[in-house]
Chain A
Amino acid sequence: MNFTLKIWRQKDAKSKGAFETYQVKDISADTSFLEMLDILNNDLVHAGKEPVAFDHDCREGICGMCSLHINGLAHGPGQAATTCQIYMRKFKDGDTITIEPWRSAAFPVIKDLVVNRGAYDQILQAGGYVSVRTNSVPDANAIPIPKADADESMDAAACIGCGACAATCKNGSAMLFVAARVSSLAKLPQGRVEGARRAKAMVAKMDELGFGNCTNTGACQAECPKGISIAHIARLNREFLAAKIQD
């Protein structure tokens, strides 16, 4: 298969970027999207040009490192998959593919398609944890947890922190990301203890970092590679409002 690629190139955070067009040829349908970029990059290196910088690591959809806005969709075509899990058979021979970095004020571009998602770390540092010390804990089976609760907690905990939610949201809102963590811990007795403090602190940090406001479009849920439901946003709203009303 042959493709025309329109890729966003930007030297560094300060420089202005622009699209450049590349051709890739003889790509097998079984090639993954990132392998296709590897092939392009190898060609570029041989031509003495700088390869396209893009984030990636595990290439099995779990580390959350890969990003890319492909043909207008975060993580490209196909639902519940990260960019690294997209295979070229999803495209048609001869397609033009536009590849852009995550665009969000809170995710500034570092180079080409690489962005800084440190804001997500900062939100979690504000309260996305249970304050227990190593070794100062009860037996694992001391507190039974209803299976349904543990399962729902796990649904939310599947978040890989890739940033697709904020990148795809027309409002640049990180609510799905924040909600996933708040909700996951809120469903467990261990996390309940500091639930109110957590919800307030994480929302405050999210706002401070310049993420937008959720308007319930559900685009985040549609583009989340882990299919995390906006029901967790409802729970975050509940947690936050209950905490604020008690203040």
Chain B
Amino acid sequence: MAFKLDAKIPQGKLAEKWSNHKAAIKVVSPANKRKLDIIVIGTGLGGGAAAASLGELGYNVKVFCIQDSPRRAHSIAAQGGINAAKNYQNDNDSVYRLFYDTIKGGDYRAREANVYRLAEVSNLIIDQCVAQGVPFAREYGGLLANRSFGGAQVSRTFYARGQTGQQLLLGAYAALNKEIAAGSVKSYPRHEMLDVVVENGEARGIIARNLVTGEIERHGAHAVVIASGGYGNVFFLSTNAMGSNGSAAFQCYRKGAGFANPCFTQIHPTCIPVHGTQQSKLTLMSESLRNDGRIWVPKKLEDVKALRAGTLKPSDIKEEDRDYYLERRYPAFGNLVPRDVASRAAKERCDAGFGVNETGLAVFLDFKTAIERLGKDIIKQRYGNLFDMYEEITDVSPYEEPMQIFPAVHYTMGGIWVDYNLMTTIPGLYAIGEANFSDHGANRLGASALMQGLADGYFVLPYTIGDYLAAKIQAPKVDTNTPAFEEAEKAVKEKIAKLMSINGKQSVDDIHKKLGHIMWENVGMARTKESLEKAIVEIQALRKEFWKDVKVVGDPMSFNVELEKALRLADFLELGELMARDALNRAESCGGHFRSEHQTEEGEALRHDEEFSYAAVWEYKGMDEAPELTKEPLIYEETERKQRNYKD
């Protein structure tokens, strides 16, 4: 049975939709809010902000995170900044321009109404964060400073040194702490959601594992909010935190929530290249470096050879022998093209044999020109901590020699399908932030993830959830002693018992690395029909191998990291296949999804709007069954869809 998708996009002019919608949806009175329970999974910018705001409104909130404190969520690692249409720089920015840049940056695969709302509330976010005591960068006059970011021609990014995500998260975490102290929010750190409980077609709660004791717990609520982030770790190596996983989202999918555009993966252009086989994760160097850094590879292959042999230093290569390929190909945006474009351009050069390290998978990011122009001190002020970090990792000083960078998996635009109210196809189940699919289309612009997480958490969900909960004010507390809870708990316990009993030969990481390899080679930066078909077969085989040969040691009724990883990998092994299937279905190139068969003569992404102007929403049919596709058509009323052009 295919989904009957209703995105519930309000009528009226684009700029009025959100106000009209807010006026039209139901609200819950304070006395009734006290009777309603909400579970929030995840404490990043989306989950933290939502839990705090919902608690403030008077709902009873339970918030879960897998780390030892809500403050550790991976939003904390965002470095560069957060976008808002404040126009404080007087460079003719506006809500419309932010909306337009985001839609265009997403290669016209996002919903207009959602993106416009995002741009609209972006300004409120900055106000909110400043009031919470977020120490944004300021100018000498005491007012807020901005910097520019990829994909935009205005300076609209607010930042707090290279730690913007951390500061925004600490703001949300502080708001959460305020509510925990007030008793409206109860925090469950070191708890992992292992299933969502659906009863009579509605979300009724979750099954969670206490990661310290191993106990399986039932938690009931009138609504469940998934804010568990993205699933980039399906690639094993990514810039995500080690614990980041797709399992919470995947349980929703398994229980009947649609999963949209799973193949839309963002590959970030400026990461430190892989150095060996034992590496555990990839380190991102902030995109803000592209403000002053110039990306290049040598023009001559003999220079490349000499670099690899170590007989030539990059700084010795003459200016005329350097190929600043982004500036050459995209004169208007230069080094500040969107991430997908920059990543693919790097891959193109490396594929052509110009990769500058032993593996052939690296390009230079050079500050020589900037240091000459601005002086070392200014560069140090701007990027000092990033330069130090780079030197710590690689033993090379970026003041002396250019950095080596290469693209790495960074963000997943796909996720659980939600309507305009951020509700999934399961009533009462919501998804916000990176966990949902909504606002970034096929490619996210820099400094927009923080914006979306906080927009959903502070300014959208607290309103839209009331529309659903208004019908629940008569509902009693959710009884967790029902067959639905029993079954869900039993299934979780059986899954754990099964994993513990296999006692095979391969560790979880061994298999995860194999999956990562399949994904990166076949479902990575450039995909083809053949590679995707190959990936599907290989992942299926690997999944069988996993369920036959994985070795999980230790006691399930205790702190057991191997078991945690095994449970997550079991889901990644299905999610990876889903991504490949989605990528195979989408026979076009758009944003972060690049099908080599579909490119322009100049090697740019070639969209097929007639055929693929839709969100691909997948429905789970079983572990070894093909999922069913439903299409949500994307209708563009305001924007004219063009080939993205960052050349002039």
Contact = CB atoms under 8 A, between A and B. Distances in A.
Judged by CB atoms under 8 Å, the answer to whether A and B touch is: yes
B256 interface: no
Given A38-B278, A154-B135, A190 B283 contact: no
10 nearest A-B residue pairs (beta carbon): A144-B142, A129-B174, A137-B131, A154-B135, A153-B135, A45-B507, A140-B130, A111-B559, A57-B241, A134-B53
Contact of B553 (A39, A45, A55, A63): A45
B103 to A, nearest CB: 25
Interface string A89-107: 1000000000000000000
Interface of B: 49, 52-53, 56, 67-72, 74, 76-77, 86, 88, 123-124, 126-133, 135-144, 160-161, 163, 165-167, 170, 173-175, 177-178, 180-181, 187, 189, 212, 241-243, 275-276, 278-281, 283-284, 388-389, 392-395, 458-459, 462, 505, 507-510, 551, 553-554, 558-559, 561-562
A154 B137 CA distance: 9
A63 B280 contact: no
A85 B392 contact: yes
A16 interface: no
A56 interface: yes
8 contacts: A44-B553, A57-B67, A62-B163, A63-B76, A85-B392, A144-B143, A153-B135, A161-B71
Nearest to A136: B131
A45 B507 CA distance: 6
Nearest to B180: A125
Nearest to A117: B68
Given A58-B241, A131-B178, A135-B458, A141 B131 contact: no
Contacts of B165: 62
- Give the secondary structure class of A's interface: loop
A149 to B, nearest CB: 9
Contacts of A64: 69, 71-72, 76
B132 A132 contact: yes
Contacts, number: 220
Contacts of B553: 44-45, 48-51
Interface residues of A, number: 79
Contact of A154 (B161, B189, B389, B507): B161
B52 A120 contact: no
A41 to B, nearest CB: 8
B160 A140 contact: no
A63 B72 contact: yes
A134 B133 contact: no
Nearest to A201: B181
Given A31-B278, A144-B142, A190 B241 contact: no
B275 A144 contact: no
Nearest to B244: A57
A50 B559 CA distance: 11
A35 B278 contact: yes
A147 B128 contact: no
B72 A132 contact: no
Interface in A138-185: 138-141, 144-147, 150-151, 153-154, 157-158, 160-161, 184-185
Contacts of B505: 46
Nearest to A141: B143
Contacts of A81: 392
A34 B77 CA distance: 18
Given A30-B394, A64-B69, 14 more contacts: A11-B558, A35-B280, A42-B507, A46-B507, A60-B281, A81-B392, A121-B69, A121-B177, A130-B174, A132-B128, A134-B53, A146-B138, A154-B137, A158-B163
A30 B279 CA distance: 9
A145 B243 contact: no
A7 to B, nearest CB: 15
A135 B128 contact: yes
B449 to A, nearest CB: 15
B507 A59 contact: no
A68 interface: no
Given A128-B177, A153-B135, A140 B86 contact: yes
B135 A184 contact: yes
Contacts of B132: 129-130, 132, 190
Interface string A3-47: 000000001100000000000000010111011001100101110
Contact of B68 (A34, A116, A133, A184): A116
Contact of A38 (B140, B177, B509): B509
A138 B142 contact: no
Contacts of B123: 140
